[in-house]
Amino acid sequence: MSKKILILLFFLFTVFLKGQTLKFTGNINDTSANNGLPNVLMMVLKFSDSTLIKHTRTNNTGFFKPIQVPLDTYLVILSHPSHSDKTFLLVPSSKDSVYNFKNVVLPPKSFVLNEIEIVAPKEKSYYKGDTLIFTADSFKTGANATVEDLLKRLPGMQVDANGKITVQGKEVDQVLVDGDEFFGTDPTIATRNLNASSIDNVQVFDKKNESTEEGANETLKVINLKLKDDAKKGYFGKVSGASDFQKFYEGEFLANHFKGSRKVSLFGLVANTPKQAFGGGDAYKYGLSGEQNWIYDDETGNWINNNERGTGVPLTIKSGFYFNDKIGENTKINADYTFNQNQLFSGSETNTQFFLADTSYSNLKIKTSESKNQNHSFNFRVIQKLDSLTELTLAPKIKYTTSDNSTIQTDDFISGEIATTRRTVIKNTNSNQTSDANIYLKLSRNFMKKDRNISISYQPIFNSSNNDTKLNTDFIYYEGQANDSSLVQKRTQKNSKIEHNASLIYTEPFTKKIKGEFSYNFTNNQNSNNRETFNYRATGYDLLDSNLSNNFENKRVIHRAGTKLTYEVKKYRITVGSYFRNIEQQNVNITTGNKLQLKVNNILPLASFNYRINQGSNLSFRYNSSSQQPDLQQMQPVRDNTDPNRISIGNPDLKPTFSNNLSLNYYFYKGIKDVNFWVGGNYGNTNNQISYATTYDSEGRAITQPVNVNGNYNGNVWLGGGFPLFKKFIKTYYNFNGSFSNNVSLVNSTKNISQNTSLGPSMSVEKNAEKFNIRIGGDYSYNIPKSTISIQSNQPYYSYGLEGSVVLKIRKKFIISTDGRYNDNGNRTPGYNIHYFIWNASIARLFLKTGNLALSLNANDILNQNISNQRYISSNQIVDTKTQIIKRYFLLKLLYKFNNQKTKVEGDDDF
């Protein structure tokens, strides 16, 4: 390096080095004698004037006696009569206090040294283009810490108890290792698999979403873990068994092999504890994708992760494998298979208050259900390089699912005078078989001109399902409104879907700063559903009920073409564009012969702006528009009386929605002070939003039909960050989330506007040390609902929680941990203002030199208070639910972890 550059470096750094000291230690190895090299002279010269500040020599074992000098920029020369000199230019930062010249080897005497090694600290985090990069070694973690431990220490990142990762308030969609999927596609697939010490850097960026599903986000939030070169090999895993020798048991086996590009995983699990699947734990730690179990909750109208519910009494059996490899220089392959069987017995109690213009009443629903679900899924992907510029991807996926469910549900309808007016007892059984298959084909071609490329993709999708349901309902009247009666029916339903998706994307750079993208997408979808309902007679289920039977078909052809321009310089990137979309839809009621044609044209504009203020801060803005089509179930004009108190019917006149979405995000991090902050918000409104029109009869029965409405909008704000206290003795984290929504619906033909405002602050403090870990935190949620149809439903409610955890390591052989959380729910229906304290604890004894064999006693819900309690307010309803959940239980567990390095496998949470 030229002397002018070295002088410039000196003046940049000396301003930070006043009044501090730097300690030198180290050792010199003699490779020929395979031991330490004695009598090596270390000379420390001040860079600015070559003044000799201090010197020392190695002892008989090759180790230097430590010396201490003022913090400055130095030339450090290592000299020995039998070897050539080695010179270091040491440019420390204001955070450095010790530099260790560890295992240095001096060059042979015959070697002429013409280079100087420059030692300077890397930035803890910085931007490279739009990619935020964290230097892993700059963030302190414990010995044998996992990647998840590392991520928890990165500014702006959070990892919850289920392994879900958020970056600056946004959930991570995908985690890659060296740019490839690691044992599948689960977002936190590698975080508990790899040691933090194996990571060179952590990269955070957005990439284009290749999903063809309507309404899917255009971009995905991605984390890429860049491995050090010596970390790309090894095997690791565990085998464990646990039981209380009475009722509960768990058994697991996981084995993983990682060598270069080859990644292999085998797993198996059987458990009847709340540990359904591998969700939130080993699903992420051992890289098992596709293990999330999302279900539709008819109590809340939302999709929720059944693995996180913790409700009911489960039985889970799972097994499968993952395989990734590279054949030669041009072929990558990936394959995985999963077998999953879940049985669940659950119970719930739901109290719903209904508010109408002239009356109010409530419904107490007690429901028990038993289900058994089984699925087989197989995924395969091959990426073939045809030449240095062309790549072909082939990715078929197959899934087969069967399910059997039975429910018993009792509904009591209670008048405003607290008198039970009627009761229904519903007994339903259901069996279903579903087959899914699709093939994704993509051809990508880069050209010699930088940023010029083209990609063509095609994906056929096939789906079929058969469903058989038996309905049995008893109607009981207490005030003589009608005679007691019963309904016995059988329903069969056959659904099929064939869809073809094709796309072409071409990118052309006009100048070094401006490039354009041109795209075209084509979708052809045919979806049909044939539903037949038979009433029971003396001869069996043989009387067709035409009011509850229908054969319906939806055909849809979509053309979308558009362009966008991107202007990009060092700190700025601006994108503007627009798409034109044409939809031709035909709804065919095969039963009646009616046909409904619909043509819709949309202009879908988009824009984004990104400003990288400096290496530690970034500001971004994004606007996009989207349109979504109604699904077949929403359009089929047939009644669904699975629950005769809550009948739904489709609407073939539904139109596509049109939405506008805006988001703004800002982030900064100051590495020296270890302070980070992020803030953001979004706003969206939807025209022709698919809402619901509900009609209630005199007995409280509801008939609901989807309709298009206008006036729906929502907004969210979030902020968070962290900062150290007491000279970095502890770290404080804070978060705030706020939201507002406005939703329109129809209740007995009257327009109802429901608004909800929610506020949710939280804060925690942590202390991480080698022998212990302590965390204390709290969170609060306050909801303010408003409804125009009845002020009685405008009842604010709140919940708050206090939690803490302690982990102690005693004499390297014992690990004691405990955690607790207090929850309080207020301003709810009597009987649902529940407060409870969940306390768990464990003690583990480690065996073997590595400590990888552990015997532990785990106590769950020691105070026997666990309960699941939710509230939601929608339209003219207030719904409070309590759900059955496994309470106190104890397990004696034996666990053995293994890896190829014969060292301790971190993951004390497993003990």
For residue 7, what are its two tokens? 């002088």
Give the C-alpha separation, 906 to 144, whole Å. Answer: 5
Cβ atoms within 10 Å, residue 813: 12
The two beta strands, 83-90 and 117-119, are parallel
Band of residue 690 on the pLDDT scale cut at 50, 70, 90: very high
User: Quick one: DSSP state of residue 312?
Assistant: B
Cβ(34)–Cβ(69) below 8 Å: no
pLDDT at 171 exceeding the cut of 90 = no
Contacts of 388 (CB under 8 A, 6+ apart): none
pLDDT at 185 exceeding the cut of 60 = no
- Mean pLDDT along residues 583-607: 92
Contacts of 794 (CB under 8 A, 6+ apart): 785, 786, 787
pLDDT at residue 210, rounded to an integer: 66
pLDDT at 10 exceeding the cut of 70 = no
Q: What is the 3-state secondary structure (H, E, C) of 574-606?
A: EEEEEEEEEEEEEEEECCCCEEEEEEEEEEEEE
pLDDT at residue 418, rounded to an integer: 85
Band of residue 300 on the pLDDT scale cut at 50, 70, 90: very low
pLDDT at 760 exceeding the cut of 70 = yes
pLDDT at residue 292, rounded to an integer: 34
Band of residue 12 on the pLDDT scale cut at 50, 70, 90: very low
For residue 750, what are its two tokens? 């009257």
Q: Which residues pair with 495 in a beta bridge?
A: 465, 529
Give the C-alpha separation, 614 to 618, whole Å. Answer: 7
Give the C-alpha separation, 881 to 350, whole Å. Answer: 4
For residue 145, what are its two tokens? 């810490």
pLDDT at 624 exceeding the cut of 80 = yes
Phi, psi at residue 7, to the nearest 5°?
-65, -40
Cβ(368)–Cβ(322) below 8 Å: no
What per-residue string of b and e applies to 888-909 under the rule 16 or more CB within 10 Å gives b?
Answer: ebbbebebebbbeeeebbbbbe
Band of residue 803 on the pLDDT scale cut at 50, 70, 90: very high
Cβ(806)–Cβ(785) below 8 Å: no
- Mean pLDDT along residues 743-747: 91
pTM given for the model: 0.74
- For 764-801, how does the pLDDT look when each residue is reduced to its tens digit (9 = 90+)? 998 877 788 899 999 999 999 998 887 777 889 999 99
- Mean pLDDT along residues 211-232: 70
pLDDT at residue 741, rounded to an integer: 94
- For 650-684, how does the pLDDT look when each residue is reduced to its tens digit (9 = 90+)? 999 999 999 999 999 998 888 767 788 999 999 99
Per-chain mean pLDDT for the chain? 83
Cβ(366)–Cβ(408) below 8 Å: no
Band of residue 433 on the pLDDT scale cut at 50, 70, 90: very high
> Does residue 369 come out as left (phi exceeding 0), alpha (psi in the -120 to 50 range) or beta?
beta
The more confident residue out of 285 and 63 is 63
The more confident residue out of 25 and 829 is 25
Phi, psi at residue 91, to the nearest 5°?
-120, 85
pLDDT at 875 exceeding the cut of 90 = no
- How far apart, in Å, are the Cα atoms of 269 and each of 177, 257, 319, 627? 25, 19, 6, 42
Band of residue 286 on the pLDDT scale cut at 50, 70, 90: very low
Compute and round to an integer the Cα radius of gyration of the chain: 32
For residue 679, what are its two tokens? 């803030």
Give the C-alpha separation, 646 to 702, whole Å. Answer: 5
- How far apart, in Å, are the Cα atoms of 459 and each of 207, 394, 627? 20, 10, 21
Phi, psi at residue 10, to the nearest 5°?
-60, -50
Band of residue 118 on the pLDDT scale cut at 50, 70, 90: low
pLDDT at 304 exceeding the cut of 50 = no
- How far apart, in Å, are the Cα atoms of 807 and each of 306, 773, 813, 814? 28, 5, 13, 11
pLDDT at residue 212, rounded to an integer: 53
Give residue for tokens 């002018």. 4
pLDDT at residue 288, rounded to an integer: 31
